[in-house]
Amino acid sequence: MARMWIKRKKAELGASAAPAFAVDARKKKSGNRARNRVVMAIACFMGIYGIIGGRLVYYGMQEDTSGYNGPTGAVLASRPDILDRNGEVLATDIKTASLYAEPRKIIDPDEAIELLSTVLPDLNFEQTYSRLKSGSGFAWLKRGLTPQQKSQIMALGIPGIGFRTEKSRFYPGGPTASHILGLVNIDNQGIAGMEKYIDEQGLSDLRDVGLADSRSLEPVKLSIDLRVQHVVRDVVVTAMQRYRAIAAGAVVINVRTGEVLAMASAPDFDPNNPFNALDKDRLNRMSAGTYEMGSTIKSFTTAMALDSGKVNLNSTFDASRPITIGHQTIRDFHGKHRILTLPEVFIYSSNIGSAKEADVVGIEGHREFLHRLGLLERMQTELPEVARPMEPKVWKKVHSITIAFGHGMATTPLQTAVGAAALMNGGKLIQPTFLPRTVEEADKVAKQVVNEKTSEDMRYLYRLNSETGSGGSGSRANVKGYRVGGKTGTAEKVVNGRYSSDVRFNAFVAAFPIDKPEYVVLTIIDEPKPEEGKVGATAGFNAAPMVADIIRRSASFLGVKPDFGEEQVTAPLMVTFDD
């Protein structure tokens, strides 16, 4: 009985224990779920706070924007550094402070202006007062403060006044390469020169989407050699003062690549303080000014005649009498009044002979040749400031005659230099570039415009014209050891509708070393006066010496070694002179 009772008790206990164990399991499972929810909640909060913390760190690394609710974006965008071909900095960004106000927080506008004027005496009081009284949320007061000005204004403790750190453009060389580099506006956007070109190549798009960051922008390297640029600008500015001219300019081009190594035009401006950059006389005359280039155009007239195959270096032209066409009479400046050989036409710069050279080719052939050389087409290059040449709408006989010696058409000095480079490099027209370019890259874009024999003949004529004792006008461009050759150009300017013999635009185009040219140098000088104690003011007296100064001072930088051995100028054909 006891045994049966025990079994029954065990059975009862087992039956009653089973539900208790099930309840404990359910409680344990419910507790696990609660703990999981807590863990997940903690993880979510930690993730949210982690994101917030990360953003705070990110913003902490950015520009100080405390108290600022004005415009953002473009004014803070960076620009890439601009370097010369050797890595020297031509333009870079620096940080500057700009002063702004929150007019709603200004307690006393009169007191604020009075305090600010102690640091900024040039502040426009009327405009500033109007802004401070406007009640708006933001107003610029002064951009581009110096560190000292910022410190002094901060010490004033004016409520509602703050500073914004901005990017400002700085040009270490000042005006040295101003017409090449160009300008930026107050918002650091390129508005002229290579600065504008850089924006047009995609920088503006990067700014618009907020990706113009200084850490991600590669520097832009130019073809310019800063050392040569210094020399060229110094020669140009000095010549303008020495000859009391209204303007002057020069350019140096690599004849094999089309690279511009240096270019200057005076008067110029300081891009760090461009208050006068838009003045009419600050025009970049080398690429944005068009001129009748005078006798430098005879280079192309003679090359055209030679390239036609109808004449050669032994051909002759009758220059014994002036040419009369309509009401115009064409004379030579220093006439020989006899038959001239083609080289004599060139070195004596005969207007009559040049007109007859053009007559050999004909009116349509003349016009086609100048277009082929790019002299009457708008030049293609990176610089935005490029003028379109001018020519007669309908060419007549009189136009062909006058254009043959450099009057009646207008082109830019830079285009004239590019055309001359084609005559020197074997006949290849290579559009100029302000960016680095290899010979191989240049050959891909080059256009054969004259044959190599014509180029060889023109090199001979250039050197002959600069030889001492040859009677040519280019002897003052000679630099011992560098074998310079070139052509002068003295163009009378139009005054009151008529050409004036006293007002001139002078030019000289040269190449060196002339036996195998590497560089073309072209100089211009506008309305020069004779030097004190001298009577001559033609190109041989001013534009040619400018070329000599540039070559003498910069040839070593360009890698051209002097050769002081004896030199003989030999013609590709036997030429005799009767004088």
Classify domain 229-558 at the CATH class level. alpha beta
pLDDT at 571 over 90: no
Which pLDDT belongs to residue 3?
A: 46
Mean pLDDT, range 154-165, rounded to an integer: 91
Which pLDDT belongs to residue 68?
A: 43
Locus of tokens 């004088």: 579
Cis, bond preceding 267 (omega within 30 deg of 0): yes
73 versus 374: which is more confidently predicted? 374
Do residues 181 and 171 lie in contact, with contact meaning Cβ atoms separated by under 8 Å?
yes
Lowest mean pLDDT among 331-340, 399-408, 553-562: 331-340
* Residues involved in catalysis: 295
**CA–CA separation, 579 and 4 (whole Å):** 159
Produce one character per residue of 399-434: b if its CB has 16 or more CB atoms within 10 Å, e if not.
bbbbbbbbbbbbbbbbbbbbbbbbbbbbbbbbbbbb
HEC assignment per residue over 99-143: EEECHHHCCCHHHHHHHHHCCCCCCCHHHHHHHHCCCCCCEEEEE
Work out the pLDDT band at 75, boundaries 50, 70, 90.
very low
pLDDT at 367 over 50: yes
Work out the pLDDT band at 82, boundaries 50, 70, 90.
very high
Mean pLDDT, range 187-199, rounded to an integer: 94
Locus of tokens 């003052």: 476
Mean pLDDT, range 150-157, rounded to an integer: 92
**CA–CA separation, 139 and 127 (whole Å):** 11
Produce one character per residue of 175-200: b if its CB has 16 or more CB atoms within 10 Å, e if not.
bbbbbbbbbbeebbbbebbbbbbbbe
**CA–CA separation, 306 and 309 (whole Å):** 6
pLDDT at 577 over 60: no
DSSP state of 199: I
Task: Write down the mean pLDDT value for the chain.
Answer: 87
In the chain the first and final C-alpha atoms are separated, in Å, by: 164
Locus of tokens 């191989």: 440
Mean pLDDT, range 230-249, rounded to an integer: 97
Cis, bond preceding 513 (omega within 30 deg of 0): yes
Helices and strands (H and E) in the chain: how many = 18, 18
Mean pLDDT, range 503-529, rounded to an integer: 97
Tell me the residue ranges of DSSP E strands in 441-496. 447-448, 485-495
Q: How far is CA 251 from the centre of its chain?
A: 12
For the chain, how are helix, strand and coil distributed in percent, rounded to 5? Answer: 40, 20, 40
Mean pLDDT, range 375-383, rounded to an integer: 96
471-502 per-position pLDDT tens digit: 778 889 999 999 999 999 999 998 888 888 88
Which pLDDT belongs to residue 27?
A: 56
251-305 per-position pLDDT tens digit: 999 999 999 999 999 999 999 999 999 999 999 999 999 999 999 999 999 999 9
96-123 per-position pLDDT tens digit: 899 999 999 988 989 999 999 999 998 8
Which pLDDT belongs to residue 66?
A: 41
1-35 per-position pLDDT tens digit: 444 544 554 455 454 444 554 445 555 556 667 77
Dump the DSSP string for 384-431: S--PPPB--SS--HHHHHHHHTT-S-BB-HHHHHHHHHHHHTTSEE--
Percentage of the chain lying above the pLDDT 70 cut: 85
**DSSP β-bridge partners for residue 568:** none
Mean pLDDT, range 358-370, rounded to an integer: 97
Q: How far is CA 486 from the centre of its chain?
A: 26
Which pLDDT belongs to residue 578?
A: 38
Do residues 351 and 330 lie in contact, with contact meaning Cβ atoms separated by under 8 Å?
yes
Lowest mean pLDDT among 5-14, 158-167, 384-393, 545-554: 5-14
pLDDT at 504 over 80: yes
**CA–CA separation, 261 and 229 (whole Å):** 7
